[in-house]
Amino acid sequence: MKLLRIKAIAKKELIQIWRDPLSMAMAFLMPGLLLLIFGYAITFDINTIRTIVYDRDQSSLSRELVAGFRESGYFSIVAYVEKYGDLDAYLAAGKAMTAIVIPDTFSRNIHAGRDAQIGVLIDGSDSNTATIAGGYITALSQQYSERLKGVRITPLIEPRTRVWYNPELKSRNFIIPGLIAVIMAVIAALLTSLTIAREWDRGTMEQLIATPVKPSELILGKLLPYFFIGFIDTVVSLLMGTILFDVPLKGSISLLLSLSGIFLFGSLSFGILTSIMGRTQAVASEMALLSTLLPAFLLSGFMFAISNMPEPLQGITYLMPARYFVSVLKGVFLKGSSLHILMIEAMLLSLYGLAVYTIAAKKFKKRIL
């Protein structure tokens, strides 16, 4: 009888979803659309750093240096200036991000075997771009010095760097997995935040209360259809990440789907809880949106490293399930992590889902207030 009651509630919820175009769009179109928009909009890669050049040396060596910057694909030479004062005009107007100043002693020092210095001015109003541009300039200058015939500037300690897990240092490779976690956290909570509240708004809750359906059965019956919808959305998001955005999936797809199911159960249960507490669809959806969107974006480690946050905020992040799901997605996608490595995240996500579901079942009372 218990399974029959749960099945009946789930069938009723599926019919309501099918008849509601807004719910259908939110369930099937919004996750892919958000991933498409944010996946292309959010990037930390810099490919066109607008650069101006003040070449006082005017030699073949200085022109070769500038050509190296231009051909690297990172720098776009927008102008050559004749006076030092013109540099400030370009930087202040935002027409250039960096300026390269080559002194008139550049080629002379190189032929004499002395250190050759160049001046670099960087617009620091965008600190992230400025830091990356400075790193590119340092690397390209080192490459240029190594190409010079007869001259090699070698430091006493020469590092040999090897990047693991994301050797191309593409920001998309770590943004897309985190973005999937954030989108699914928000969509799952929003979908189920309307379930119980919709019954109150439409006046059908009294009929449900009159039935022998228990609160736990009602919640589970309403949760099941959205669980399958969320699972489909997760699979579609994973396919988009690997095929459309070309993010490598090095780990087990079955492990990823299993842990995604655990996360979905917790997020959907949280949406049910907000629906019970909100009583109306407007209030419940606002509660679900505010309590998932900002924490998932800011406190999950998706956009900002948790280790760089103030200690009080670092403590709060342990309460955010999106933090653990972001770790799961990045671990499976980029590192090929196994369940043994992700055991703590899996246990915490399971405890969160069980706790929220239990609270929701106890919070819902079969009576008219």
User: CATH number, domain at 97?
Assistant: 3.40.1710.10
Instruction: Check whether residue 59 and residue 100 sit in a common domain.
Output: yes
Confidence (pLDDT) at 168: 74
Confidence (pLDDT) at 157: 46
Instruction: Check whether residue 244 and residue 286 sit in a common domain.
Output: yes
Instruction: Check whether residue 142 and residue 187 sit in a common domain.
Output: no
Whether 61 has a pLDDT exceeding 80, the answer reads yes
Domains in the chain, number: 2
Confidence (pLDDT) at 241: 92
| Residue 247 · residue 241 · CB < 8 Å | yes
Confidence (pLDDT) at 159: 54
105 or 154, which is more confident?
Answer: 105
Q: What is the mean pLDDT of residues 129-134?
A: 82
- Out of 187-196, 201-210, 243-252, 276-285, pick the least confident: 201-210
Instruction: Convert the pLDDT of each residue in 90-101 to its tens digit.
Output: 888 888 989 999
Instruction: Check whether residue 89 and residue 203 sit in a common domain.
Output: no
197 or 169, which is more confident?
Answer: 197
**Is position 165 within any domain?**
no
Instruction: Check whether residue 346 and residue 255 sit in a common domain.
Output: yes
| Residue 44 · residue 171 · CB < 8 Å | yes
Q: Which structural domain, as residue segments, surrounds residue 192?
A: 25-42+170-363
Band of residue 125 on the pLDDT scale cut at 50, 70, 90: confident
Confidence (pLDDT) at 307: 81
Confidence (pLDDT) at 235: 93
Whether 366 has a pLDDT exceeding 70, the answer reads no
Instruction: Check whether residue 215 and residue 299 sit in a common domain.
Output: yes
**Nearest-10 Cα torsion for 277, 281, 286, 288:** 60
Domain stop point among 147, 178, 213: 147
Q: What is the mean pLDDT of residues 171-193?
A: 88
Instruction: Convert the pLDDT of each residue in 276-312 to its tens digit.
Output: 888 788 888 888 888 888 888 888 888 788 888 888 8
| Residue 24 · residue 17 · CB < 8 Å | yes
- Rounded-to-integer distance, Cα 365 and Cα 362, Å: 7
